[in-house]
Amino acid sequence: MTLFIFVCAFLLIGLNTPIFISLACTTFVVFALFTNMPLGILPQRMFAGVDNMALIAIPYFIFAAQIMSKGGLTVRLIKFAQTLVGHLPGGLGICAVLSCLFFAAISGSTASTVVAVGSIIYPALLKAGYGEKFSLGLVTCSALLGMVIPPSNAMIIYGSISRVSIGALFLSGFGAGMVFVCVYSAWCVYHAYKTKVPLQQRATLREITLAAKDAGWSLGFPLVILGGIYSGVFTSTESAVVSVAYAILVAMVIYRELKPQEIWVIACETGLASAKILIMVAAATLFSWLLTVENITTQLIEPIKALDLPWWSILFINNVIMLFAGMFIDVFSNILIFCPLMTPLIQEAGISTLHFGLIASVNADMGNITPPFGLNLFIASGVFGVSYFTIVRAVLPWLCLALLCLMIITYVPQISLWLPSIIYPGSF
């Protein structure tokens, strides 16, 4: 039966069937053919998969990100970042990384970051002499920070299925995000020296102050949301609702770049985006339940257990599996399918489920820039008006850098865990 399940699922995926249909159909077929269980239970299990308070945060964070993106936030963040580092060697490249960092702390989405930040800073990078290949790779891959820096939708999904504190997961993302920022920024400096990119004029103190003042409300967004969570004022789920209220206040009242009638359009777009994620959660939860009920999870894990591998080997195997899966399936399916399979093995090896959650989020996120089906590759191709193969060639060096970051995050857990250990001592 195990072989039938996976052959059926991957055959449907290979036929370009939507993944949620592939997983749900496989489950229904298996229960219909091999068990006497009433099929009416299966829709109930799908509903149970999304009947989770933590998942309510996802549509609200998407809504807030869309409002802020269209409400004048992005331009202000990029201008502020440029005044800080624009004069350094590789400064505009570092500015692109920092802009993605700032926007990621609001959107929690890689796709939104590519569109919002990339459409503005990509032309500036070309004009400054960074070259098409470098600029495409930089903007497309720096968007990875959208799923690493909190709030992260991938972390919300993992936390909802693993019962790990989402607040602690968010905190772990700061250390991991800084690894990406440092490695990517170092590559920008190296490229600027190698290709002799001209230096830009240093911003005056007055220009920095004005840019900071102009972007102050935008920069205050993560402070309000994360500050409220860690001070105990509201929960992670409630913070998503607060984020929408804050976004509307800033975009409509303070920046005055968003009209009331545009809120309805954004709400409709958010509804569609949220439905795509949540129906995937429902289908993947049903598929995971199938694997559990039929004891397939144990069958898959037992051979690895029998090898009695050290912890670092287990994490390496997990990375290989999730990176390979990320070449073909989306972020949320990757987490929902493979994390429940690996969690028993991770716990038996004494690995923190919090650390594993961060590693899994980064792994799944890297699928967005991994050929052949990385979402960011297709989005960047459309936004920047270049061919898919041009994007693929541009991201390969950055993908190697991302793999380096993943190895650092995987094997130096203190980078990610030191901050959660202070705020949430003894919780993991």
13-46 pLDDT tens trace: 777 778 788 888 988 888 888 888 788 888 888 8
Structure tokens at 138: 């930089």
Q: Per mean pLDDT, which range of 252-256, 291-295, 359-363, 366-370 is the poorest?
A: 291-295
Say if residue 154 is in the same domain as residue 29.
Answer: no
Whether residue 167 lies inside any domain: the answer is yes
* pTM tops 0.75: yes
Instruction: Give the pLDDT confidence score for residue 427 in this predicted structure.
Output: 60
Q: In three state form, how does the secondary structure of 213-256 look?
A: HHHHHHHHHHHHHHHHHHCCCCCHHHHHHHHHHHHHHHHHHHCC
Q: Which long-range contacts (CB under 8 A, 24 or more apart) does 381-389 make?
A: 383/114, 383/115, 383/118, 383/119, 383/122, 384/118, 384/122, 384/136, 384/139, 386/132, 386/136
| Most distant CA atoms of the chain, gap in Å | 74
Structure tokens at 30: 């298996």
Whether residue 158 lies inside any domain: the answer is yes
- Percent of the chain exceeding pLDDT 70 equals 97
Average pLDDT over every residue of 368-383: 81
Say if residue 169 is in the same domain as residue 152.
Answer: yes
- Say if CB 329 and CB 19 are below 8 A apart: yes
Distance CA 44, CA 56 (A): 19
- Say if CB 29 and CB 1 are below 8 A apart: no
Closest CA to 349 of 384, 319, 308, 296: 308
Say if residue 30 is in the same domain as residue 44.
Answer: no
- Say if CB 148 and CB 170 are below 8 A apart: no
Using DSSP's 3-state secondary structure scheme, residue 90 falls into: coil
Using DSSP's 3-state secondary structure scheme, residue 174 falls into: helix
- Residue with the bigger pLDDT between 357 and 286: it is 357
Q: What count of other Cβ atoms lies within 10 Å of the Cβ of residue 183? A: 16
Say if residue 7 is in the same domain as residue 55.
Answer: no
Between the two ends of the chain, the Cα-to-Cα distance in Å is 36
Average pLDDT over every residue of 376-402: 88
pLDDT at residue 108 is higher than 70:
no
Q: Per mean pLDDT, which range of 240-244, 256-260, 375-379 is the poorest?
A: 375-379
Question: Is the Cα dihedral 172, 146, 198, 79 positive or negative?
Answer: negative
Say if residue 91 is in the same domain as residue 33.
Answer: no
Average pLDDT over every residue of 149-154: 82
Say if residue 19 is in the same domain as residue 60.
Answer: no
Average pLDDT over every residue of 252-258: 86
Residues 6+ apart with CB under 8 A from 164: 158, 353, 354, 357, 428
Say if residue 96 is in the same domain as residue 7.
Answer: no
Number of domain units in the chain = 2
Say if residue 47 is in the same domain as residue 19.
Answer: no
Distance CA 103, CA 46 (A): 33
Average pLDDT over every residue of 178-203: 90
Instruction: Give the pLDDT confidence score for residue 138 in this predicted structure.
Output: 93
pLDDT at residue 297 is higher than 70:
no
Q: What count of other Cβ atoms lies within 10 Å of the Cβ of residue 1? A: 14
Residue 14: exposure state from Cβ atoms within 10 A (0-12, 13-18, ≥19)? exposed
- Residue with the bigger pLDDT between 323 and 87: it is 323
Instruction: Give the pLDDT confidence score for residue 292 in this predicted structure.
Output: 74
DSSP state letters, 344-378: HHHHHTT--HHHHHHHHHHHHHHGGGSTTT-HHHH
Distance CA 234, CA 227 (A): 9
Residues 6+ apart with CB under 8 A from 60: 240, 241, 243, 244
Say if residue 22 is in the same domain as residue 63.
Answer: no
Instruction: Dump pLDDT digits (tens) for 338-366.
Output: 888 888 888 888 889 999 999 999 998 89
Q: Which DSSP state fits 202?
A: P
Say if residue 19 is in the same domain as residue 48.
Answer: no
Instruction: Dump pLDDT digits (tens) for 89-106.
Output: 888 889 889 888 877 777
Whether residue 340 lies inside any domain: the answer is yes
Mean pLDDT of the residues in the chain:
84
pLDDT at residue 275 is higher than 90:
no
The tokens 């028993």 sit on which residue? 344
Whether residue 360 lies inside any domain: the answer is yes
Whether residue 129 lies inside any domain: the answer is yes
pLDDT band of 274, cuts 50, 70, 90: confident
pLDDT at residue 124 is higher than 90:
no
Residues 6+ apart with CB under 8 A from 243: 60, 61, 64, 151, 221, 224, 225
User: Which H/E stretch holds residue 335?
Assistant: helix 331-348
Range of the structural domain that residue 28 is part of: 1-39
Say if residue 59 is in the same domain as residue 12.
Answer: no
Average pLDDT over every residue of 271-285: 82
Instruction: Dump pLDDT digits (tens) for 226-250.
Output: 788 777 788 877 888 888 898 888 8
Whether residue 331 lies inside any domain: the answer is yes
Whether residue 85 lies inside any domain: the answer is yes
- Residue with the bigger pLDDT between 184 and 5: it is 184
Whether residue 428 lies inside any domain: the answer is no
Q: Which DSSP state fits 36?
A: -
CA 62 vs. chain centroid, Å, equals 12
Say if residue 126 is in the same domain as residue 26.
Answer: no
Distance CA 418, CA 423 (A): 9
pLDDT band of 326, cuts 50, 70, 90: confident
